[in-house]
Each structure stands twice: as structure tokens, then as C-alpha cells.
Chains A and B, each alone.
Chain A
Amino acid sequence: MNKRGVSRSLFLIGEIVGAALIAVLLISNAMQWTSTERPYKEYLAKDIALSIDSVFASPGNIIVNYTGNLTDYSVDLTGNSVSIYNTDSEQSNKIIRNFVSSENIEVNRIKLQKPKNVFFTKAGNEIFIDDSANINPNILSCDKLDEKEELRDKKILIDPGYGEDNIEESKKICNIGNSLISNIPTEGYNSLSILSTIKFDVGEPKSLYCSDISESDAPNEADVIISLRAGEYDNEKNNIKAFIISGSKKEKESRILACKIINSILSNKRLNDVNIDGTSIVPIDLETTNENFSKELFLKNEEKAGDFEAADFDKIFFLLEIGNAESEQGKLLLEKVSELGSSIAKGLIDYGK
């Protein structure tokens, strides 16, 4: 047996295998680099990152219909970057590009697979990417609390009004208040700390006595006051408004809570069939408005209405006007008792998170 010959043959085979390996590596890498797909993916990632940077620059709510063709790719949006890739199994070919995030604006993490349409939306304090523009453009931009404060340990007064003028509407508002009361104990709120300007029904669980609305005897020693009313305007506009007391000690907190609650109502998909024309938070001067506001709500013991000073008022307060009861859409909105109650409760819980 020729040992040298065997050794030479093996060495030759090794050389051929090595050369083939290098050739395959070179060709596959060259193919990968020169593929027309890669530059396009690179372009898409950069373009989307820049588009999101532009959305951040928008002073208000905005919906952008992105016209780039993404039907063959998946898009993954995270807090400060966008990734483009073909399929989940090909994550190694991901192209990632960063955009500049902002402390006050949250980017919703989402993954779109082969979307036919892409929309970038800035609504309130959030930026979304979705394959449809189903975000409500009326969503408000809420400020952030200076210090984290939960309402769990606070006394919350629900004021659904007494319904002197319109008993039917008042009962609806009372039922919305009841739905709110039934939703918050599940989030750790103590039902004993829920107060109301109208009498509670006897028995458990705690609920407002809506069949025969009458004024409560309980003193209003609350930290948070939520007044609920239906708007009555002689037109077809159906707006949601929150009135807060201008110049009060807790004006900022009141604005933030009202903002969270309005946004929660607008984001409730079960209310999508009702048209809400607009939303606003209106600061009011109590000296010039008294029809809708029962001043007794704000007065300390033995204080007279004329003595009320907004600067001394230290409660979180807002009056939520839920739609226009004179309009068709407003009537429809007021029928959605449980949806409205759960939305208000969600806004209350979101405050401080």
C-alpha cells in the first residue's frame, strides 16, 4: 500500500473542499449584499424612522398615510427604533433604524406583518403605527403629574345632579354614576371612600338610589369631586366637555384627571358607533357661572357662596358634560350607560399610573 499516495489524495480532497467552501461563502455573501431587496429594506427603515421623527414634531394630533410598499415585509416598531424584515424566520436579515424618542410621548410597540396600508398616528401622548387609521383624532394630550399620586386612598364624591329639570336624563346620568361605582372596587378602591351628592340604595353592593333621586345628607368631605351631567344645546353637535375651576389649587390635577377620563371614553371601542364631534377641557370662573354648578359642592362648613375663593379650593374637581342630550348622537351616547361608566372608571384608575 502506497501510504504517500493516500496522503496526497486526502490532501487534494481537502484542498478542493476548502476551495469550494470559500467559493460558496463568497458567492452567497456577494448575492446577499447585491440583492435588490436589501437596499429597499434599508430605504424603508430609514424612511419610516424619519416619518416617525416628523410625527413627533407635530404640534397636535396627526394621521399620516405612509405610501411606501411594505406588502412583502414585516414592520416592528419599538420605543425608539423600527425594524424591517421578510419573515419571522429571517430575523437575521433585519434592518433596524432609530428615531428620537421623547419623554412625554409613548410609542406603542406593535408588529405589522405584510401590511397593505400603513398609518402613523399621533393622538394625545401616544404614537401608533397601524394598518388602519382607526384612532380618534379628538383624543387630548394630557400633561404628566409632577408627583405620582393614586386616587385609591382618596375620598371620591360622585355628583350625578338631582334632575330638577329633566328627570329622565338625570336617571341616565345616575345610572352612569352607578356603573362607575360598580367598576372601581375591582381595582382596589374602597367602596366606603365613594361618596355621592344623592342618596345610596340600601344593601350591598353600594349603588346610587336612581329610582327616586334625592339629596344626600352626607357631608361632602371629599378629595375628588366628579360631577356628571348631560349637555343641553339646541343643535346637533355632540361634544364631550369637562369644566374645571380656573385658578384653584388643584387645577392641574383636575385637568389631568378630566383629560384621562375623556381619552378613556374616546378610546372605548364599544362606543365606536356613536359620533362624538369634539372634546375640550374648559376652565371656568365660578363667579360668572352658577347655573350648572351647585356651589354648595365647593363650600366648606358655614361658608357662604359669595365667600368662595377659587385660590383656596384644594379639591380635584371637574364637571363632565357627556354629549348633547338634544342631539340624536347625544341621546345614543347617553344610552351607553355601562360603557360610559367603565370608561370613566378606567380614566380614574389611569390617573397616577
Chain B
Amino acid sequence: MENKKIFFSKRASGYLLGKKPMYFLAILFYLTFAFLFFSFFISSNITSANTIPANVETTVLINRFLNSPDCFAYMDEETGRAYPGIIDIKKFDDNQIKKCYSTIENSLYSFRFELESTNIGYKVCSTPNYGARRFNKVSQYVLVYDEGNIYHTKVLISIQK
């Protein structure tokens, strides 16, 4: 058996593997494993080296909701001037969110916004991709525009990755 590599065994009607091919197979398996391991290790290192801190990304996206007149920000129809940071209560609903935050891509952050004050009651809206998953919660002071009045309140924002 020592010098045999692969040959047809008449007795067993099948193939037998010699030591050398076995050795190469083991090496091939080992090299493939090593290649996959190092590829994964390097790629994850590259990705982590370039990762933008999560709070930077979410802050940019939250700014869109609060500052853009396409989202919640109040805009004076007469002058066309937008007021960043002032939430127009008429825009604070799921339909408006769908217009300003397209969630075709599943890997996007999802958000849920809650407003509560004695003047406007309890209002909640969320992006279509928001679901029953783990979330982080942050809060931010905002002004709310409702029928010509401006109220000072806090918005609670739940964020999911």
C-alpha cells in the first residue's frame, strides 16, 4: 500500500487512496480553511476600520426628520420658508415618513417617534421597516407647531438597526 496512490481495486471493486493524495487532500482542506479564515478576518478588519460610528449615522438621519420640510419640519406656505427643528403636527404621521424616508433597502435604520404634551396629546409614528426588535431610545427637545401655536416638548426616538 505504501507506494500506491489511486488505483482500482479488483478485490473491493472500488478506489483506494494512497498516503500522498490523502496528504494533499488534507493540505487542500487546511489551505482552503486558512484562506477563508484570513479573508474573513481581513475583510472584517477593513470594514471595522471604516465603520462610521452608529450615532453619527443616526444623528444625520434624525436631522432629516426634524429639519427637512419634506419630513416633519414646519414650512410657512405663504413665504416658502422652512423652520428646522419645529415639527408641524399636521405632518407628524406615517404617510409623511414614507415620503421622506424610502425604506426599499432592508438594511436601513428604522425609527419610531413619540410626542407627548398636554397641548397636543400623545402622537406616534414610525418608518415602515420598524418592527418588534431590540431598540435604542434617545430624546430631543423640539418645538411643535399646531394651528398657529408653538409648544415646547420632547420627542422620544426609538432606533433599530
Q: Do A and B bind each other?
A: yes
Cα A134 to Cα B97 in complex, Å, equals 31
Bound Cα distance A157, B82 (Å): 33
What residues on A are CB-neighbors of B82 within 8 Å? 59-60
Which of chain A's residues have a CB closer than 8 A to the CB of B31?
Answer: 22, 26
The reply to whether A50 and B67 form a contact with Cβ atoms under 8 Å apart is no
Closest chain-A Cβ to B30's Cβ sits at a distance in Å of 11
Question: A11 contacts the other chain (Cβ, under 8 Å)?
Answer: yes
In chain A, residues 281-324, which have Cβ atoms closer than 8 Å to a Cβ of chain B?
281, 283
18 A–B contact pairs at CB < 8 A? A25-B35, A29-B35, A29-B39, A30-B42, A39-B50, A53-B61, A53-B64, A54-B60, A56-B64, A59-B67, A98-B107, A100-B64, A100-B102, A103-B99, A103-B102, A104-B99, A141-B80, A281-B80
CB-CB under 8 A from B56, the residues of chain A are 50
Contacts of B61 in A (CB 8 A): 53, 57, 100
- Having A15-B24, A26-B31, one finds 10 other A-B pairs with CB under 8 Å, namely A18-B24, A43-B50, A46-B50, A53-B57, A57-B60, A57-B64, A57-B67, A104-B70, A104-B100, A140-B80
Q: Which of B70-121 contact A (CB under 8 A)?
A: 70, 73, 78-80, 82-84, 98-105, 107-108
User: Would A102 and B101 count as touching, CB distance under 8 A?
Assistant: yes
Give the interface of A toward B (CB within 8 A). 8, 11, 15, 18, 22, 25-26, 29-30, 33-34, 38-39, 42-43, 46-47, 50, 53-54, 56-60, 80, 98, 100-105, 140-141, 246, 280-281, 283
A residues within 8 A CB of B39?
A: 29-30, 33
Residues of chain B within 8 A (CB-CB) of A39 are 46, 49-50
Cα distance, A104 to B73, chains bound together (Å):
14
> Given A39-B50, A98-B105 in contact, is the A50-B60 Cβ separation under 8 Å?
yes
Q: Which residues of A contact B79 (CB under 8 A)?
A: 280
Query: Chain B residues near A54 (CB, 8 Å)?
Result: 60, 63
The tally of residues in B whose CB lies under 8 Å from a CB in A reads: 41
Q: Across the interface, which residues of B come within 8 angstroms of A8, CB to CB? A: 5
State the Cβ distance, A243 to closest chain B Cβ, in Å: 12
Give Cα A317 to B146, complex, Å. 30
The docked-state distance in angstroms from the alpha carbon of A34 to that of B41 is 11
**Cα-based distance from A100 to B57 in the complex (angstroms):** 11
Nearest CB in chain B to that of A45: its residue: B50
**A50-B57, A59-B69 in contact; A102/B102 too (CB < 8 A)?**
yes
